[in-house]
Structure 1
C-alpha cells in the first residue's frame, strides 16, 4: 500500500497537476492582448529563411464566456464566435494544400501564469507558379494576453 501511494505521489510530482494547460474555465473573463505578426522570406541561394521581421503590431481587448457549455470569444466589439481550444492540444500541427500552395501550421497555447497566456501560430507556405518556380514564406503570430477582469 505504501508503494502504491509513493508511486502515485511521484507520478503527480513528475507530471504536474495539469494546471499549466489553458482551459475554457481559465479563459472566462476579459483580457488585454498584444498581437504581433512577423514574416520571413526564403533565400533560395542560402537555402534558408531570413530572420523574422515585424510586419504589424496591435493591442486589443478580448473576452471569453461559456454559453451552453461552449466557449465563445469576442474581440473588441466584433461579433462573438465559438472557439474550440481543445483542437490546439489535440492537433497542434495542420498540414494541407490550397490551390498551388502547400502549408504547415504549428500552433500552441501556453499558460504563462494565472493571469497571462500566449497563443502562437507559425505558418510555412510553399507555392509554385506556372513556370514551376517555388516561392517559400513563413509567418508567425504571437498573441500575449493579460487578464483585466
Structure 2
C-alpha cells in the first residue's frame, strides 16, 4: 500500500512539474505586451540594462500554423513564428557568406492569462566588414479581458 501511495505521489509530482504547452487557442486574442530590448557587441558579455522598453496592445491571430501579431493602433501585420516552433526552444542556425546567425526563441505559459517570450539573435561575423553582436527581446504579455 505504501509503495502504491509513493508511486501515485511521484506521478502527481511529475504531472504537476511539466511545463504546459502553448496552444493556438491560448495565444489568439488581445494582449498587453511589455517588451525590453537588449543589445551587446561583445558576444561573451552579459546583457545589462535594456536599451528600449515598450508597452503595446497587440492582437495575436493564426493563419493556418503561422502566428501573426497585429498592432492595435495601426493594424500592421507582422509574421512571428510557426506553431510547431513555439514549444520547441532549440536554436535555429542560418549560415550566410558573411555571417552565422543563431536564433533562440522560448515561449513560456506563465499562467492562464499571461505568457513570456524570450527571443535572442546572435550574429557571428565571418568577415572583417561586419562586427559580432547579439540582441535579446524579453516580452511578457497579459490577456485583455
TM-score bracket relative to the smaller structure: 0.7 to 0.9
Preserved CA contact (<8 Å) 1:40 1:53: no
1:142 aligns with 2:141: no
Q: 1:117 aligns with which of 99, 104, 115?
A: 115
Q: 1:58 aligns with which of 54, 57, 78?
A: 54
How many pairs align?
A: 142
Change (3 A) 1:140 1:81: closer
Q: After the TM superposition, which residues 65-76 of structure 1 pair with which residues of structure 2 at under 5 Å, given as runs?
A: 65=61, 70=65, 72-76=67-71
Q: In structure 2, how many angstroms separate the alpha carbons of the residues matched to 1:136 and 1:83?
A: 25
How far did residue 114 of structure 1 move?
Answer: 1.1
Q: In structure 1, how many angstroms separate the alpha carbons of the residues matched to 2:140 and 2:94?
A: 27
Q: In structure 1, how many angstroms separate the alpha carbons of the residues matched to 2:130 and 2:82?
A: 34
Preserved CA contact (<8 Å) 2:89 2:106: no
- The higher radius of gyration belongs to 1
Preserved CA contact (<8 Å) 1:41 1:50: no
Which of 31-40 and 48-57 deviates more?
48-57
SS at match of 2:13: helix
Which protein has the bigger strand share?
1
How large is the Cα RMSD of the aligned pairs? 3.2
Which of 139-148 and 19-28 deviates more?
19-28
How far did residue 74 of structure 1 move?
Answer: 3.2
Q: In structure 2, how many angstroms separate the alpha carbons of the residues matched to 1:97 and 1:64?
A: 30
Q: After the TM superposition, which residues 1-149 of structure 1 pair with which residues of structure 2 at under 5 Å, given as runs?
A: 10-16=10-16, 20-42=20-42, 48-49=44-45, 51-65=47-61, 70=65, 72-76=67-71, 77-79=75-77, 81=79, 83-90=81-88, 92-129=90-127, 132=128, 135-149=131-145
